[in-house]
């Protein structure tokens, strides 16, 4: 508020001799339409007291299979699977979430080799929602503590990591409920973004998305804690899959030649498509150029699970489980979609 004082004084003083002056073109051109940044300060989310049911998912006989959503929480790291919820600040003031419009030629994406490349076409106005950015060089934080393979280019610090979880109870049939309980510890999603723009020739909304998920641990349990056969540590361990040091960089779309098309066709069916990147080329030389650009610059999808274990128990927080079945490390790296088309169909 103190800032306003000099301004008010200044206004009071200058009123007598100054009037409004139009901005020159060169001054105007220096004004960049900037978006807004936002930080989630001390947030905590807990839907444990609510009854949430998901419907309209049917079985083969066309009967509704209700899914109850339980133990849905988000809080600071160290929550012990949601038992101790504390608020967490997501995003930093100098590396916040951002929402805004930008020109296609001004946007950059981080390629796997650490270079920033343009992936959006020129001369389009792109609406973008960015998660906290990734940093190259100074100030980079480990994306997963103690797991160098995940990189150290996250802007989120240790205290900004998130614990979250959700449990789905599928009421498959009378007397039978299947459970999927997900708990994620130290989740970071830096560098994720969604970019949307209008494609003139296609006359539709197109986009590009990058989803980065880094987690110290992710546990999938197939029973409700405390229920029959799911009370003791051994019983719970026998029904749990443990992912330790897991991360995924999912790249959907390369705006220049393979934008992500998500639309509904005129029959009222959902379509998700990544078109053939060389489709726009009319000559062999053009197609070669498009392909070369696509292979050089299109972001790749990586999926890495530092350790996968079924049925073991963790000796300590964030540690690789012992016992059970240890599947070691599994990786998918450098996956690139040449073409993808998914359409819904009524059953």
Partner 1 sequence: MTSRLLALCVMLLSLPALAEMQALDDETLSQLNGQGGVYLSGEFSINKDGGVLWSLPLNNDPATWSADQRSCATPGASAVEHCGLRIAVRSEADGGWYVLDNMKGIFSFEGLTLRTRTINDGFGGDGANFNQDVLEFGLPSEVKFKDGSFAFGVANQGGWQNSSLSQANGGNPAYQQTNIFSAKIDGSIRMQGNVLIFPK
The footprint of partner 1 (CB under 8 A) covers 1, 3, 5, 8-9, 12-13, 34-58, 62-64, 66, 87, 89, 92-94, 96, 98, 100, 157, 159, 202-205, 262-270, 344, 346
d(CA 172, CA 69): 14
Task: Select 184 or 261, whichever has its Cβ closest to partner 1.
Answer: 261
d(CA 141, CA 214): 12
Gyration radius of the chain's alpha carbons: 25
With H, G, I as helix, E, B as strand and everything else as coil, classify residue 299: coil
Task: Select 99 or 248, whichever has its Cβ closest to partner 1.
Answer: 99
Task: Select 69 or 291, whichever has its Cβ closest to partner 1.
Answer: 69
CB of 336 to partner 1, least distance (A): 25
CB of 230 to partner 1, least distance (A): 24
Task: Select 45 or 337, whichever has its Cβ closest to partner 1.
Answer: 45
Of 190, 210, 165, nearest to 70 by C-alpha is: 165
CB of 56 to partner 1, least distance (A): 4
Task: Select 54 or 279, whichever has its Cβ closest to partner 1.
Answer: 54
d(CA 245, CA 144): 7
CB of 190 to partner 1, least distance (A): 15
CB of 40 to partner 1, least distance (A): 6
Instruction: Report yes or no: 204 and 198 within 8 Å, Cβ to Cβ.
Output: yes
Residues 6+ apart with CB under 8 A from 76: 44, 85, 86, 87, 88, 159, 161, 162, 163
Of 250, 87, 262, nearest to 162 by C-alpha is: 87
Question: Which tokens sit at 325?
Answer: 């079945």
Task: Select 247 or 262, whichever has its Cβ closest to partner 1.
Answer: 262
d(CA 334, CA 116): 17
CB of 141 to partner 1, least distance (A): 11
């Amino acid at each position: 508020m103190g800032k306003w004082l000099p301004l008010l004084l200044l206004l009071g003083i200058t009123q007598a001799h100054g009037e409004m002056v139009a901005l020159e073109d060169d001054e105007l051109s220096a004004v960049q339409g900037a978006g807004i940044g936002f930080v989630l300060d001390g947030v905590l989310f807990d839907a444990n007291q609510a009854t949430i049911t998901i419907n309209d998912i049917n079985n083969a006989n066309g009967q509704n299979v209700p899914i109850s959503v339980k133990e849905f929480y988000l809080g600071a790291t160290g929550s012990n699977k949601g038992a101790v919820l504390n608020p967490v600040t997501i995003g930093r003031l100098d590396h916040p979430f951002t929402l805004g419009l930008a020109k296609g030629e001004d946007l950059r994406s981080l390629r796997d080799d650490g270079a920033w490349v343009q992936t959006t076409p020129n001369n389009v106005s792109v609406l973008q929602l960015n998660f906290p950015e990734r940093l190259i060089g100074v100030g980079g934080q480990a994306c997963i503590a103690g797991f160098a393979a995940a990189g150290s280019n996250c802007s989120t610090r240790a205290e900004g990591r998130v614990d979250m979880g959700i449990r789905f109870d599928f009421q498959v049939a009378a007397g039978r409920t299947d459970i999927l309980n997900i708990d994620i510890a130290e989740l970071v999603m830096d560098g994720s973004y969604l970019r949307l723009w209008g494609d003139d020739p296609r006359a539709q909304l197109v986009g590009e998305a990058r989803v980065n998920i880094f987690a110290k641990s992710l546990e999938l349990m197939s029973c409700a804690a405390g229920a029959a056969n799911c009370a003791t540590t051994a019983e719970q361990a026998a029904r749990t899959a443990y992912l330790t040091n897991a991360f995924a960089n999912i790249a959907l779309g390369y705006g220049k030649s393979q934008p992500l098309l998500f639309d509904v066709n005129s029959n009222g069916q959902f379509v998700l498509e990544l078109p053939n990147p060389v489709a726009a080329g009319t000559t062999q030389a053009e197609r070669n150029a498009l392909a070369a650009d696509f292979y050089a610059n299109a972001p790749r999808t990586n999926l890495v699970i530092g350790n996968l274990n079924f049925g073991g128990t963790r000796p300590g927080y964030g540690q690789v489980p012992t016992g059970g079945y240890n599947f070691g490390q599994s990786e998918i790296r450098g996956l690139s979609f040449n073409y993808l088309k998914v359409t819904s169909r009524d059953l």
